[in-house]
Structure 1
């Protein structure tokens, strides 16, 4: 009997890690590349953000026909906002169709496509809730996640969205305390949805915990300190943070509060490892995949990381469970060197929001330029 070769990505999936792609463009959908990644790379979901959309608009011709038609409505700010909404929701809707068989096969757990609320609303609870509803209703497909940033103002928006039966990808999570609050916001939303008589089994959520950005900032500070003890901690902060988040996940989804919701059909909110592209070339390019293997998590990867792992990634079993004491020791050691965990994470949240807003502004400018260029061509 001939043994069937198993790819690293298939092995990863068998360990309970859902492989999602962190990239989306109309060209990727129309060319069949997205379907090919599902068929050959075990990809079962896709995430996107303003940066990805801005790059797709700036670098492809796949949007020209739609832009030409949208240009008939004008080129002022209101028209540009509407055009961005129409373009991004069209891409997500088309991708959701591609992933529909995956969603059916996995009972809705995977096959998800994420679209982000306008990041300029990150500090506006009511505005976030309103746009989450608008995106959900406009796309109208169950295998979509609405991305809401895990700001303090975003927490009640998460609860409100879940309470309406909207599946949510909570993004830009950095601190363990904030992650705990995110899970609690999700549980509160499920409880409200249950009170309304909604079908809890149709509501899904992931909590996106960022990794490489954490190491980039901590490593910079460790290099400035420059001691042997500091250098020994390089590349350990991001992994420790994620592993301790998984410990919180295990804790909060084993409580009587959760069991009551599970008995009513609710799904666990899965941890999602985000920002998994390695930025320091001295580290293995698959580090944030190999070192974060655990049951019932998602790893969303840029295509470069996805292909690298499929080429030479290795799995030696779970690499999260039973690491909690070691991970605590890493955070304690960082504090002992003079690095403030909360200061680093607060800075990363503000920096992350600024990057998303800057990319959204770039997206608006790109679309406006395209509308102006094609203003006289609408049919």
Structure 2
């Protein structure tokens, strides 16, 4: 009998862990998850690194060395996080090789303070890529208006990118356009475009959280009947858009020249509403060529009792369109909801970044004090 996570992988879903810490790396936990949970990649963000650095002693020795060298807070963060990601990519290298570069990926994010700074994002993406120096890294760039030209430029430089913080279909279409633009630039520059990979991270549970708040405020029977339906419907329509956009002449010509499609990735797949099934954003979003990045709690729930019934996306497009028609009918401004989510997403990551800076600042100061 295969496990639910093995069944998910067999259905074409790559399982990535939405967490990374040095403890996972050095204890062998990450390698174990590859073997026992079919995990084939890792995503990180400022919140994850802030949590990792605030717990345990795994970073103490490196922090002491950085303090002795007089490293600044941001220099220390850069060293610590790029070291973790490089070590994780080495653990995933056999997966990367076995999948022809599709999986075995580890993501690291540009500073969220650069979310509205195109040139700053491009510069830091290149710096992160060069410092990690591993073919199976992905550089995370948010899908803000300023992020879109940065995505095109970074892809155009031959760097693989995880586009994050996507909430709306309109923005997703712009993300695909930026990816294809970047591929064309890379091809024109003589770069081997078969080496460039990308995923587009579409957030799921946060959509339900914001839209459900609006539906409950409306309070009618029609509105309440739509609670907890928008996140899955939005993601399903994103897959429909993905299928359509990568069937265009522009995309198929690039693929024929060696390019890879930009896979949809389901992010924010931990259930926020405890009344919902804890595997909802996994089992309802199964389709070939997707990635689902899961917090460990969701991963374990899926492994324990996830029911995988094959593709649950492509036969449900009509239902998803109906949900959106009904949302509009009861008065939900979905475009406004997704803009709020993007703004909040950037702000939350900036807050986490500041927490990470404060954690490192304190650790450096304590190490310097001990050294005296």
Q: TM-score range by the shorter chain?
A: over 0.9
5+ residue gaps, structure 2: none
Instruction: Tell me the secondary structure at the aligned position of residue 323 of structure 1.
Output: helix
Equivalent residue, structure 2, for 1:47: 43
Give the CA deviation at 1:73.
3.3
Determine if contact 1:278/1:287 at 8 Å carries over to the other structure. Answer: yes
**Alignment length, in residue pairs?**
372
Equivalent residue, structure 2, for 1:60: 56
- Aligned match for 2:341, one of 335, 348, 354: 348
Tell me, yes or no, if structure 1 residue 361 matches structure 2 residue 354: yes
Pairwise CA RMSD? 1.0
Instruction: Tell me the secondary structure at the aligned position of residue 41 of structure 2.
Output: strand
5+ residue gaps, structure 1: none
Instruction: Tell me the secondary structure at the aligned position of residue 298 of structure 1.
Output: strand
- Aligned match for 2:208, one of 186, 210, 215: 215
Inter-partner Cα distance in structure 1 for 2:134 and 2:238: 30
Inter-partner Cα distance in structure 2 for 1:322 and 1:248: 14
Give the CA deviation at 1:378.
5.5
Instruction: Tell me the secondary structure at the aligned position of residue 44 of structure 1.
Output: strand
Determine if contact 1:239/1:292 at 8 Å carries over to the other structure. Answer: yes
- Aligned match for 1:32, one of 28, 48, 69: 28
Q: Normalising by structure 2, what TM-score?
A: 0.99
Inter-partner Cα distance in structure 1 for 2:56 and 2:227: 38
Inter-partner Cα distance in structure 1 for 2:336 and 2:251: 32
* 1:115-134 equivalence runs, <5 A: 115-134=108-127
Moved more, 366-375 or 315-324: 315-324
Determine if contact 1:212/1:275 at 8 Å carries over to the other structure. Answer: yes
- Aligned match for 1:270, one of 257, 263, 269: 263
Inter-partner Cα distance in structure 2 for 1:201 and 1:317: 29
Give the CA deviation at 1:60.
1.9
Inter-partner Cα distance in structure 2 for 1:224 and 1:258: 42
Inter-partner Cα distance in structure 1 for 2:120 and 2:322: 40
Give the CA deviation at 1:328.
1.1
Give the CA deviation at 1:317.
1.6
Give the CA deviation at 1:335.
1.2
Equivalent residue, structure 1, for 2:12: 16
Determine if contact 1:69/1:378 at 8 Å carries over to the other structure. Answer: no
Inter-partner Cα distance in structure 2 for 1:223 and 1:54: 33
Q: Deviations over 1:322-372 (max 9, x none)?
A: 211211110111111111001100000000000000000000000000000
Give the CA deviation at 1:259.
1.5
Instruction: Tell me the secondary structure at the aligned position of residue 103 of structure 1.
Output: helix
Tell me, yes or no, if structure 1 residue 319 matches structure 2 residue 312: yes
Q: Deviations over 1:54-103 (max 9, x none)?
A: 0000012100000000002337xxx0010000000000000000000000
- Aligned match for 2:238, one of 245, 249, 271: 245
Equivalent residue, structure 1, for 2:157: 164
Inter-partner Cα distance in structure 2 for 1:16 and 1:278: 22
Determine if contact 1:50/1:359 at 8 Å carries over to the other structure. Answer: yes
Instruction: Tell me the secondary structure at the aligned position of residue 83 of structure 1.
Output: helix
Instruction: Tell me the secondary structure at the aligned position of residue 151 of structure 1.
Output: coil
Equivalent residue, structure 2, for 1:279: 272
Inter-partner Cα distance in structure 2 for 1:157 and 1:299: 24
